[in-house]
Amino acid sequence: SPVVARFATPYINPLKIKVEVTDAYTHDEGKYYVSLAEFECYESKSLNGIANDAAYFTDGTFSELKPGVTIDDIAKIQNAFIQNIAAYLLSNKYSSEYRIHDYMPYRPVDDLAAELKTSQYSQFENPTGIYFKANEDVVIFVGETYNEALSLRVRDFGSSGNDYSYALSPGLNLITMKGKGNGYISYFTLNYQSAQTVKVHIASGAVNGYFDINRHSNQDGKKLLEGAVSEIMDVVGNKTHLAYAVASLRSQCSDQLHDLITLYDSITSSQHTMMGLEKYGRTPRNHMFGRVVWSSFMFADGYGAGFNDNTMGTVANL
């Protein structure tokens, strides 16, 4: 969960940067432990002229044109990138199914694990269906966050294993990708029961799509696999989330994704029943997670379940 400190005015050649820690996890009585895993400094980036261009859109996510906007109005937009988005929106040809979405809050996985006395549920909630390449410059517009912390996590469950997170702020976010992979909006908060959804417009990257049990049929799944640009496809049920190799899904269950994730959901539902969670109305919104791995065999760890790609004849076969 990256934290970003932004300075209202720039500091030229600072001599020192001081990090003062005021709280920490207690492991032993009277002893506090702090681990600063990574610390980086960045120069702010901007898109010129977007303040005036925002007048043609309903909000700061640049995802919807105001009623009555015409092609003549779009011709007045100064920024070429924003103008291109506006033109596609006006013609109803913008790929908005995955680029524009309201993302749900989820309970922090360590907090849920402590209550259930289990390993952690998925750290990869809110798949975006967008695939990013390394060194790609990415434009993301974020709506009102209601003082909640969000980040974009880009993870490649394929060959590279790249895994990077980028903090997101309301408004324009310009990010240079450190690695490749599928994108996920990390929105974990202790206010998960009352927090509102956050609208995010991912204007860059390639549309890979993801399978959603509540939106897609078996035939939709087949089309998604045929048009995939990533090595990995996210398959999301009501209780379970899988990230399996596209090639294996094509060979094992190309027109059965809905049936497959329904079966996985039934397994997770049985676990919830045995734990008493369904009886007492405490079934979590968070998903169990299974993903492909490229070494070892089958195992469980802090991420969830790992299945070697050579086991897909079993675990991806209905």
Tens digit of each residue's pLDDT (9 = 90 or more) over 198-228: 999 999 999 999 999 999 999 999 999 999 9
What is the pLDDT, as a whole number, of residue 26?
A: 64
* pLDDT value of residue 28: 67
Percent pLDDT > 70 in the chain is 95
Q: What are phi and psi of 159, to 5 degrees?
A: -70, -35
Amino acid 27: pLDDT = 61
CA 143 – CA 261 distance, rounded (Å) = 31
Q: Is the pLDDT of residue 7 over 90?
A: no
Note the pLDDT of residue 24: 75
pTM over 0.85? The answer is yes
User: CA-CA distances (angstroms) from residue 290 to 227, 236, 306?
Assistant: 22, 10, 6
pLDDT of residue 302: 86
Q: CA-to-CA distance for 130 and 184, rounded, in angstroms?
A: 8
Q: 151-161 pLDDT, tens per residue? A: 999 999 998 89
pLDDT value at position 40? 79
CB 166 within 8 A of CB 152: yes
Copy the structure tokens of residue 282.
């405490």
- DSSP bridge pairs for 308: 293
Cβ atoms of residues 316 and 263 within 8 Å: no
Residue 10, pLDDT > 70, answer no
Q: Which of 63-72, 79-88, 247-256 has the lowest mean pLDDT?
A: 79-88
Given this model, what pLDDT does residue 80 score? 86
Using one digit for the tens of pLDDT, what is the confidence trace for 90-139? 999 898 899 999 999 999 999 999 999 999 999 999 999 999 999 999 99
Residue 185: its H or E element: strand 181-186
pLDDT of residue 35: 76
CA–CA distance, 247 with 58 (Å, rounded to integer): 40
pLDDT of residue 70: 94
Look at residue 181 and give its three-state secondary structure. Answer: strand
∠ Cα 128 45 134 (to 5°)? 45
Write down the mean pLDDT value for the chain.
Answer: 92
With beta carbons less than 8 A apart as the criterion, state whether 188 and 148 touch. no
What is the predicted pLDDT for the residue at 2? 66
Q: What is the pLDDT of residue 43?
A: 65
For residues 298 and 313, give the distance between their C-alpha atoms in angstroms, rounded to a whole number: 13
Pair of tokens at residue 177: 């990708």
pLDDT at 46 (0 to 100): 65
Per DSSP, the chain holds a count of helices (H) and strands (E) of 9, 17
Average pLDDT for residues 227-242, to the nearest whole number? 98
- The answer, yes or no, to whether residue 13 has pLDDT greater than 90, is no
174 pLDDT band, cuts 50/70/90, is very high
pLDDT at position 315, please? Answer: 96
